[in-house]
Amino acid sequence: MSTEVVRHPDGRVEIKGDLTGSPLYNHDLAPTPLAERNWTTYNFAALWIAMAHCVPTYMMAAGLIAVGMSWGQALFTILLGNIIVLAPILANSHPGTKFGIPFPVFARAAYGVYGANLPAVMRALVACGWFGINAWIGGQAVNTLFTAIWPGWATLGGLVGGVSLGTWISFMLFWGLNILIVYKGMETLRHFENWSAPFVLVMTLGLVVWAVQAAHGLGPILSTPGKLNSMAEFMPVFIPSLTAMVGFWATLSLNMPDFTRFSAGQRSQMIGQVVGLPTTMTVFAAMGVMITSASTIIYGQPIWDPVTLVGKFTNPWVIVVAMFTVIVATLSVNIAANVVSPANDFSNVWPRVIDFKTGGLITGVIGILIQPWRLLADASAYIFNWLLLYSGGLGSIAGVLVVDYWLVRRTELELRDLYEPRGAYTYVGGWNFAAVAATGLGCFAAWGGKLFPAMSGLVPYGWFIGFAVSAASYYVLMLVLKPTAVPLPTPD
């Protein structure tokens, strides 16, 4: 490969020359040229605002109330979780900005040029699950919208598998809309996120105003007590809930290089993300808390699904506007958070055959096969099974990546060798078994409680346990085994 690595004064690195001869290369995995790194602070803030303003965020906050928390306890749990997860997000965003590389290429440094498929596929499968969840939510919104316009839609074709035919059609229509935007590319996504973020915020504020008025002011909403009135009652719910909050964005804590590879600089992505994530999640969660608390007063029970709540309205045009907002919100988060990464991840498995568009299609198909309607059956399954369990696995990957880039490599990567089958990251047959072993140990520590009762106390701490165990074991294994051609620095 005839290439030249260029280091610019602002610290960013790019590669000039022809990489097309490498079996590890395709256009979508190639380092982003400096001229195409044009995402600003606003773009990153808008990205997070658009991703946070989604139904799963709303359902998360409301779900905490449904399992007994007060509004104050719920908001504290969500804010703390998002502050915690911001640290690995920013840590793994740095290499994307510096080298212009997507997540699976970045993972090649720690796991090996072929071993990177392990974290990439693990991340991709979680994203497929999220894609299915959001596609089902979006489909429900489309179904409610169609029913408001034409009431006969609700009974169209009878039931299929216990669900109306109209619901299935709506689900597939929304699914197809996601795939269409994927085929339009990343620039279309950037423009879509820029306008969808403020639109969804304004519309949700309207729903908050309705909730406050219908509940006769903020007083009744904020005075509604929780059911966890002592530390003995609160902590068993708080710990797994906090882990679930971290797990909510544990996916993006790995694959933010998929977006920061387009950043105009480190300052742009850092400020945009610090402004966009914790504040937006907390504010939008507060809206969900207020609306759900109001629904308890208005309807006698907490309704934590906004699509179900809006379905109780009688004015069809209000339903149409509300459901259009849900569709926009769900579409924006689904494409950004749940398609971009797995599309790149699947492409990394077979770069010569699977490009970004094909990877997106694979994501969509798997998203249907996981049957998301079963996962969303109740708040407990959503928070304590889905979010809690997968967070342990992704935390184990994050521990390896953070330690490798910041402690082992000291933020320096051999960019050319990330695309070279016989380079610094070849290790043994393209696999760094120190990273694989560390990830396995982290996963065992996080998940072992499901198999061995003696370890059951670790399950609520899944992400934290997985991160800590994999990070520590990886650093030790790399110091002892030194399975790389790149010299290890002497520890300070």
The count of C-alpha atoms lying within 13 angstroms of the C-alpha of 327, restricted to the half-sphere facing its C-beta, is: 22
| CATH code: domain of residue 323 | 1.10.4160.10
The pLDDT tens digits of the residues spanning 365-410 come to 998 888 777 766 654 555 456 666 778 899 999 999 999 999 999 9
Q: Confidence class of residue 487 from pLDDT cuts 50, 70 and 90?
A: very low
**130 in a structural domain:** yes
Q: Which residue has the higher pLDDT, 474 or 340?
A: 474
Phi then psi for residue 263, to 5 deg, are: -75, 145
The pLDDT tens digits of the residues spanning 54-74 come to 777 777 777 787 778 887 888
The least confident of 119-133, 155-169, 429-443 is 155-169
Residue 490, pLDDT > 50, answer no
Diameter over CA atoms, the chain: 71
Q: Return mean pLDDT, the chain.
A: 85
pLDDT of residue 67: 78
| Predicted structure pTM score | 0.85
Q: Confidence class of residue 189 from pLDDT cuts 50, 70 and 90?
A: low
Residue 492, pLDDT > 50, answer no
The least confident of 90-94, 258-262, 292-296, 447-451 is 292-296
- Interatomic CA distance for residues 448 and 422, integer angstroms: 36
Q: Which domain holds residue 323?
A: 3-481
Using CA atoms, how far residue 463 sits from 182, 277, 397, 450, 458, in Å, is 30, 19, 10, 15, 10
Residue 222, pLDDT > 80, answer no
Q: Is the CB of residue 224 less than 8 Å from the CB of residue 367?
A: no
**411 in a structural domain:** yes
- At 399, the amino acid letter reads G
**403 in a structural domain:** yes
**359 in a structural domain:** yes
Q: At what angle do helices 231-248 and 462-481 cross, to 10 degrees?
A: 60
The number of domains in the chain is 1
> What per-residue string of b and e applies to 277-292 under the rule 16 or more CB within 10 Å gives b?
bbbbbbbbbbbbbbbb
**470 in a structural domain:** yes
**492 in a structural domain:** no
**488 in a structural domain:** no
Q: At what angle do helices 266-299 and 71-99 cross, to 10 degrees?
A: 160
- At 68, the amino acid letter reads G
**490 in a structural domain:** no
